[in-house]
Amino acid sequence: MAAVNSKLETRSSKLILDCNGRGLDLSRPSVMGILNVTPDSFSDGGVFLSRENALAQAVRMAEEGADIIDVGGESTRPGARPVSTQEEIDRVVPVIEALHDRIPQPISIDTSKADVMRAAVAAGAGFINDVRALRDEGALATAAALNVPVCLMHMQGEPRTMQEDPRYADVVAEVAGFLRDRLRAAREAGIPARSLVIDPGFGFGKTLAHNLELLRSIGKLRDLGAPVLAGLSRKSMIGKALGLPVERRLHPSVALAVMAVQNGASIVRVHDVGPTVEALRMWQAVYS
């Protein structure tokens, strides 16, 4: 592990995040592929088949050029039924273990629960993606002890009700203020500043107008000193702006990923890895 760390550090101590021994290079735009691990109620194969399907999908995203795969057991999804800690661990751990053997990229765990963070990192995950920004009990201390990078996301309200009537006096100032407070809390808990990533949380307690203003203002979030992650893929803001159902949101999603990067995002979290990677390679050919 020391050898891996020093190798990552000699290349660039600031631009490459050490994700449990695997590097995430933030000197160019990075693509995080979304992997939802949920029992497939339509499959006769039960847990086994849906696990094999998830693995195959993750390997494909890795081959298409994903820089990191985000594994989620669905407890943080807006409107999702709350899942018990044990159920979340039973869903994600086997997938993380198998994926860790099959792909070289770092693996992210999408969770808010300290016990899930611990089990996922023991299984090979090297990055924590927390839509609650380490506000759940024990999450700050656990993330600090696990010594992996963390994404802190903004959310107004709670997933079940957050889209009912989101209000802000100044959405950019309020999101930036929240993220500044969580960055400070994370550093005070012992997480090094270089391991922290921030995310405005598109769609998490925001109207279309709020989301658009945040997208145009990613540069102001970058001024907080941490790399910015943007999750815009297939989101309902596309449906609201263009009247398109979720299965027709590929092209606008790719456009939004490019706009996020142009405005200063370092990582984009997407479902459609191949098209996004190609678009961002073109962005790099123009701007680097």
DSSP the chain: -HHHHHHHHHH-TTTEEEETTEEEETTS-EEEEEEE----TT-TTHHHHHHHHHHHHHHHHHHTT-SEEEEE-STTSTTPPP--HHHHHHHHHHHHHHHHHH-SS-EEEE-S-HHHHHHHHHTT--EEEETTTT-STTHHHHHHHHT--EEEE--SS-TTTTTSS---SSHHHHHHHHHHHHHHHHHHTT--GGGEEEE--TTSS--HHHHHHHHHTHHHHHTTSS-BEEE-TT-HHHHHHH---GGG-HHHHHHHHHHHHHTT-SEEEES-HHHHHHHHHHHHHHH-
Nearer to ligand 7PM, 10 or 195 (CB): 195
Q: Which residue in 22, 91, 235, 249 is the catalytic one? A: 235
Query: Please, are residues 34 and 70 in contact by the beta-carbon 8 Å criterion?
Result: yes
CB of 194: closest distance to ligand 7PM in angstroms?
A: 18
CB of 199: closest distance to ligand 7PM in angstroms?
A: 4
Please give the backbone phi and psi of residue 287, each rounded to the nearest 5 degrees, phi first.
Answer: -105, -5
Q: Under the rule (CB under 6 A), what is the footprint of ligand 7PM? A: 34, 77-78, 129, 131, 151, 153, 199, 201-203, 229, 231, 235, 269
Cα angle 246, 247, 248; round to 5: 90
* Residue nearest ligand 7PM, CB atom distance: 231
Residue type at 186 in one-letter notation? A
CB of 150: closest distance to ligand 7PM in angstroms?
A: 10
Question: Catalytic residue at 269?
Answer: yes
The tokens for 171 are 């959405």
Nearer to ligand 7PM, 239 or 274 (CB): 239
Nearer to ligand 7PM, 7 or 69 (CB): 69
| Residues contacting 246, CB < 8 A, separation 6+ | 234, 239
Return the bridge partners of 199, or none: 153
Nearer to ligand 7PM, 178 or 202 (CB): 202
Nearer to ligand 7PM, 44 or 255 (CB): 255
Question: Catalytic residue at 235?
Answer: yes
Nearer to ligand 7PM, 78 or 166 (CB): 78
CB of 66: closest distance to ligand 7PM in angstroms?
A: 15
CB of 176: closest distance to ligand 7PM in angstroms?
A: 16
CB of 160: closest distance to ligand 7PM in angstroms?
A: 12
Catalytic residue annotation: 235, 269
